[in-house]
Chain A
Amino acid sequence: MARVIATRLLRLVATLLAVTFLTFSMLELLPGDPVDTLLPPDANRTEELVAQIRAELNLDDPFFVRYFSWLGDFVRGDLGKSYITGQTVADTIADRLPITLQLAMMSIGMALLIAVPLGILGAYKQGKWPDTVTSAGVQVALSVPNFIFGIFLIWLMAVQLQWLPATGWNRLTDQGLVANLKTSVLPASALALSQLAVFSRLVRSDMIATLQENYVLTARSKGLPDKYILFRHALRPSSLSLMTIVGINFGALLGGTVIIETMFAVPGLGFRLINAINSRDILVIQGITVFIATAYVVINTVVDLLYSALDPRIRRS
């Protein structure tokens, strides 16, 4: 086990180095002077400002020296400062991250709540009509892009029924849970749809496999109630792979909320990223990209380690 952890961590470090290096190189690969790219077109380009930027970014140093000093800054939480908004990139991320995190967690939670019972139902009634109906529904849910579902949700829940606000965000810390839920339910639902489909398919296929395992068949032959078998014996192994995919999805969602956040005017990481892209705020693009990529890598490693720790088969080997 210690060996598994050690190799995993070693790999993590190597991956992080590569990821940061690639993101850092993006700015390098751009043609022209980086200062031209960094400053907004209407900036008052005084000699001092240019000199200051060159100094701040160590632009006169060789490439690798710059990379490592940038990496050092990144480790210390310093990703530079946007020359357009004047905010530091770290502050920007710290400000937006909770919102995107909440959206990601809510959507995963909502998806799990619906997906697990659906998946169990499908496995239990495999081949019968409840399975057919849910499978078909899941297929459709999987195929509807979330931006299309988002348009539909706003039209239905906000404009037609007027149950929920169409856009905006009430921060949990400022306005309390109820106000926060009002603004978060719609975007989270839009994100939940496709995950719901993924999760329920996973649960269903895993359950079908485990239901045929010997120990389940033994339990059945003992005459244990179906409910007991489904939840005690069959769901457990599935929960491992479910955990893995939830972890992966979570990492992916950090960068995957861009469209939904823009559509619902939710001021999360993705919204900021699109704004930065539109104003070519390179340092913010770079900072958010490297942050999300790092989070993604770390989360995946943690999930892997957890998986190894929890799955007896792996632990033994």
Chain B
Amino acid sequence: MHRRGVKRALAIPLLLSMVVAACGGDDDGDTASDDTSVEATTGDATDDTGDGGDDGGDDGGDVTTPATVEDTDTSIVREEGERTYGGDVIFGLEAEAVGMRPWEDACGEPCLNIQLSMMEQLMRERADGSYGPWLATDITSNDDFTVWTMTLRDGVTFHNGEPFNAQTIVDMYPVQQSGTSGAAAINAAKLASLEATGDMEITYTLSTPNSAFPASLAGVLGRVFEPKAAAADPDGFTMNPIGTGPFVMDKRDIDNETVVVRNENYWMSDPDGNQLPYLDSITFRPIPDEGTRLDSLLSGTVNMMHSLRQGTIRDARGADGIQLYEFQGNNTGGGMYNTAVPPFDDVRVRRGLNLMNNQEAVIDALGGTGISLPATQWFSPDSPYWTQEAADAWPTFDFEAGVESIQAYIDDPARSDGKAPGELIDVELSCPPDPTLIAAMQVIEQVWTGSGLVNVTLTQFDQATHISNAVNDAHRAHCWRWSSNQDPSLAIDPVVAPPEESVSNFPNFFNEESFQLAQQALQTDDVEERTELYKEIMLNFAEDSIFWYSGYTATMVAVDPSIQGINGWLLPDGTLGNGFPNAFVTFTEVWIEQ
């Protein structure tokens, strides 16, 4: 018990920081998930207060129509065209991000856009899903992935003129350890200690093998801030963050605009040798209202916006004169059953409920038909870890089969909930009080109730209570979000670990095989081998039916067509970066066509 308490102290900040995330848009986007954290979050794809149960419109009633994502080009390519200097981007964000301290404040999509224009990562994800060096130049490990040695880029300076070197990383470490996000990231990366083994060399020692360590350096752990300034005035850092990035803080007027201007001394150049960045400035404006944000773009008030709402993406598709960049993320909406509580301890019930989950209708209710794909696993088809086998194994909507499965449980004299055979099962379905989630919840409820076997109660608690209900095992059928665009280990490991050791195992379900597979995946960096291991885990998930899914998160960046370079930016080694995941834009190579 005590042990769990300690774990909990570590895990809860981590969890909470991410959970609030995807439900994002709340106020200071800094309550949002960061890329280091396990992105298991409540809520549905694109939910936020104020969004109505919008709807894609057409084939809502037609159950047999397979949902497909409309033919939008989501491949990452480097744009042609002559790069020109100058110009200002005004970017309408879904929320303000107040906290700019990478070691302390959780950072969702709105925040990432602002923060990473000024601060940089040691590593960045490539278009192919691998990780390449950014402020680092190289990283290697020992054979069992417990010791990692990294060399750093020479000639980089912070905005305040301080040099960037191994001492920087060493000085950053205590600041990270003291902060909420930093401590969670260190814990998730299994980092035990680090030391400078040269002017430009850092050696990381881990507590257990972690072949995915470079992925952690692409998140909070590897986000480089100027440690002296941070230590001198931690609170002031939020108003005046100092990094090495392509843009420098110019003006912060919280809730109104944050202006960053070109870093004249930026170290990176494009392949033709032109110094980056091209833009003169970026102005970030929080416009929480989805409708007026799109209106702002259409009226020219802003020339760039993002959205994590399917309904907004649909509306933007119907609008003229703007360019859309859509992204289908791994992050998966849906929920989980608390298997510690009858009747959810019985797989027949869970499987039956899943079979009666009409995913396409749910997506339709979210306005995501043709925008968001029904999820079958923790990876979207764009991910290298997606497998057809896992997709086939996931129980798709089959009303009769669902009824049959639950009927079998109900008629079982030894049914686990202690009721007499033939009595209805009680299902308490709970989501945060977000209009889109409520819409999704109602779609599910109507089918479950329609079976005549399930007595559904709907409850809504605010975000914080919703999460603490899961932490305290007060949940039954509980809305949640799964997976992230980070390395699979970060999302999967806490959920397959034994429930008594991992607070994040919210379903309270333990499958020894899944647990072992996850451990194995940390001991190899071979992508094919890891894909195979994670596929097996996905097959177990389908078999155990501890989760239900709706769709993958669809996100969009919409811009004035003159704005270029959002899609195909390069890492310093010339490889292609990962585009605009979850509507987070990398601004190094963005330019405005004259």
Interface, chain A (partner B; CB < 8 A):
40-45, 84-87, 95-96, 151, 154-155, 158-159, 162, 165-169, 171, 262-265, 267, 271-272, 275-276, 278-281
Q: Are A168 and B257 in contact (CB under 8 A)?
A: yes
Per the bound structure, the CA–CA distance linking A165 and B298 in Å amounts to 10
Q: Could you show 30 A-B contacts with beta carbons less than 8 Å apart? A: A40-B31, A41-B16, A41-B468, A44-B104, A85-B99, A85-B254, A86-B235, A154-B295, A158-B295, A158-B296, A158-B299, A165-B299, A166-B292, A167-B285, A167-B287, A167-B301, A168-B256, A168-B285, A168-B287, A168-B296, A262-B288, A265-B285, A265-B287, A265-B296, A267-B253, A267-B254, A275-B96, A279-B26, A279-B28, A280-B462
> Nearest residue in B to A271 (C-beta to C-beta)?
B255
Contact A169 B295 (CB under 8 A): no
Contact A279 B31, beta carbon cutoff 8 Å: yes
Q: Mark B86-99, 1 if CB is under 8 A from A, else 0.
A: 00000010001011
CB distance from A207 to the nearest CB of B (A): 39
CB < 8 Å: which of B31, B49, B104, B292 contacts A265? B292
Which of A45, A167, A262 has most B Cβ within 10 Å?
A167
What is the total of A-B residue contacts with beta carbons within 8 Å?
Answer: 116
* Apart from A43-B13, A85-B28, 16 more pairs, CB < 8 Å: A41-B16, A42-B16, A44-B180, A158-B296, A165-B296, A165-B299, A165-B300, A167-B285, A167-B287, A167-B295, A168-B257, A168-B301, A171-B253, A265-B288, A267-B255, A275-B27
| B191 at the binding interface (Cβ < 8 Å) | no
Query: Given A42-B180, A158-B299, A162-B299, does the pair A264, B292 have CB atoms closer than 8 Å?
Result: yes
Closest to A155 in B: B295
Q: With A168-B301, A265-B287, A279-B31 as known contacts, state yes or no: A159 contacts B295, CB within 8 Å.
A: yes
Instruction: Pick the contact of A84: B28, B285, B301 (CB < 8 A).
Output: B28
Contact B180 A165 (CB under 8 A): no
**B interface majority secondary structure:** mixed
Nearest chain B CB to A201 CB, angstrom units: 31
Does more than half of chain A's interface fall in helix, strand or loop, or is it mixed?
loop
Residue numbers in A under 8 Å from B96 (CB-CB): 275
* C-alpha gap A167/B302 in the complex (Å): 9
Do the beta carbons of B106 and A165 come within 8 Å of each other?
A: no
Q: Is the CB of A167 within 8 A of B16?
A: no
Chain A's nearest CB lies how many Å from the CB of B479?
A: 16
Chain A residues positioned under 8 Å from B287 (CB to CB): 167-168, 265
Q: Nearest residue in A to B283 (C-beta to C-beta)? A: A168
Q: How far is the CA of A59 from the CA of B467 in the complex (A)?
A: 26
Does B299 lie within 8 Å of A159, measured CB to CB? Answer: yes
Residues on B with C-beta less than 8 A from A275 are 27-28, 96, 255, 288
Chain A residues positioned under 8 Å from B476 (CB to CB): none
B106 CB contacts on chain A under 8 angstroms: 42
- Chain B residues near A267: list those with CB within 8 A: 253-256
B115 within 8 Å of A by Cβ?
no
CB of B253 within 8 A of CB of A42, answer: no
A130–B96 alpha-carbon span in the complex (Å)? 48
Question: Which of B183, B235, B238, B301 has the most chain A CB atoms closer than 10 A to its own CB?
Answer: B301
A281 contact set on B, CB distance < 8 A: 27
Contact B13 A44 (CB under 8 A): yes
Task: Tell me whether A42 and B13 are in contact (CB under 8 A).
Answer: yes
CB-based contact B301/A41 at 8 Å:
no
Q: In the bound complex, what is the Cα–Cα distance between A265 and B9 (angstroms)?
A: 37
Contact B27 A166 (CB under 8 A): no
Nearest B residue to A151, CB-CB: B291
Smallest CB separation, B11 vs chain A (Å)? 11
Q: Which of B248-289 contact A (CB under 8 A)?
A: 253-257, 285-289
Do the beta carbons of B254 and A167 come within 8 Å of each other? no
A167 contacts across to B, CB distance below 8 A: 92, 285, 287, 289, 292-293, 295-296, 301-302
- On whether A272 and B462 interact (CB within 8 A), knowing A40-B31, A279-B31, the answer reads no
Is there an interface contact between B301 and A165, defined as CB atoms closer than 8 Å? yes
Q: Are A158 and B289 in contact (CB under 8 A)?
A: no
Would you call A278 and B285 a contact (CB within 8 A)?
Answer: no
B286 touches A265 (CB 8 A): yes
Output the least CB separation between A27 and chain B (Å): 16
Q: Which residues of B contact A95 (CB under 8 A)?
A: 254
Q: Is residue B244 within 8 Å, beta carbon to beta carbon, of the partner chain?
A: no
* Smallest CB gap from A277: residue in B: B27
Chain A neighbourhood of B286, CB < 8 A: 265
